[in-house]
Chains A and B, each alone.
Chain A
Amino acid sequence: DGGITQSPKYLFRKEGQNVTLSCEQNLNHDAMYWYRQDPGQGLRLIYYSQIVNDFQKGDIAEGYSVSREKKESFPLTVTSAQKNPTAFYLCASSVGATSYEQYFGPGTRLTVT
């Protein structure tokens, strides 16, 4: 079955630690995205990548970093510089970068204490 996997589902970290969230897709999609969702709010774009080895900042990139070394993978690192990292993180992919619909993974709920 084609789809997007994110692991783990729940993640707990101590303040000051960097943490990497995994996102893998086997849909052969070119574009991938990371969103953050806070309670009662919509999704906000963190980073996106249209092709391998290229990515751009979204609306709230501060305190986050990404890499896109393979088409299938787009990991997100939440650094200690992110002031309020506790949130639900969703990864998505789309066929291309021309306003195609995005398909989402199951998400990772990160709690930092």
Chain B
Amino acid sequence: AQKVTQAQTEISVVEKEDVTLDCVYETRDTTYYLFWYKQPPSGELVFLIRRNSFDEQNEISGRYSWNFQKSTSSFNFTITASQVVDSAVYFCALSEAGTASKLTFGTGTRLQVTL
């Protein structure tokens, strides 16, 4: 069965610090997809990135970057120069091929960025 673990329940940083959110996954499939979502206080989940299991290239989007390592089953998310607006709960999720896009979510990491 697939599983996603986000061991960091809560992280607090001061603005402009870099922060990395960890995500470790388990799956028996060779084809799968990994996602990160942001949930601000308003509650709506915002899609950040989708990565398939055959693409291990790191991705950078502005201050956000993602490190996918199949050898360690990890898909970590780094925010560079964090800002107060980054404060949210971040979820990592996994979908196996052929499962109708059913997502298995981790329990989330609450990030608090203060001035």
Binding site for B on A (CB under 8 A): 31, 33, 40-45, 48, 50, 56, 58, 88, 90, 92, 94, 96-107, 109
Complex interface residues of chain B between 1 and 44 (CB less than 8 A to chain A): 4, 9, 32-33, 35, 37, 42-44
What CA separation (Å) do A106 and B50 show in the bound complex?
Answer: 21
> Given A88-B43, A94-B101, A107-B44: A101 and B50 within 8 A (CB)?
yes
Partner of A100, one of B4, B101, B106, B108: B101
> Given A90-B45, A107-B44: A102 and B107 within 8 A (CB)?
no
Rounded to whole Å, the gap between the CB of B10 and the closest CB of chain A is 10
> Given A43-B105, A48-B100, A56-B100: A99 and B95 within 8 A (CB)?
yes
Residues on the B chain within 8 Å of A45, using CB: 102-103
Residues on the B chain within 8 Å of A94, using CB: 101
Q: Is B68 an interface residue (CB 8 A)?
A: no
What CA separation (Å) do A41 and B50 show in the bound complex?
Answer: 21
Q: Do A42 and B91 touch (CB < 8 A)? A: yes
Q: Taking each of B50, B95, B100, B106, which has the highest tally of chain A beta carbons within 10 Å of its own beta carbon?
A: B100
Rounded to whole Å, the gap between the CB of A93 and the closest CB of chain B is 10
Partner of A104, one of B45, B96, B101, B107: B45
Closest to B103 in A: A102
Rounded to whole Å, the gap between the CB of B83 and the closest CB of chain A is 23
Q: Do A31 and B101 touch (CB < 8 A)? A: yes
In addition to A42-B4, A90-B43, A98-B98, 12 A-B residue pairs with Cβ atoms within 8 Å of each other are A33-B103, A42-B106, A42-B107, A43-B103, A50-B100, A88-B43, A99-B50, A99-B101, A100-B50, A104-B37, A104-B46, A106-B42
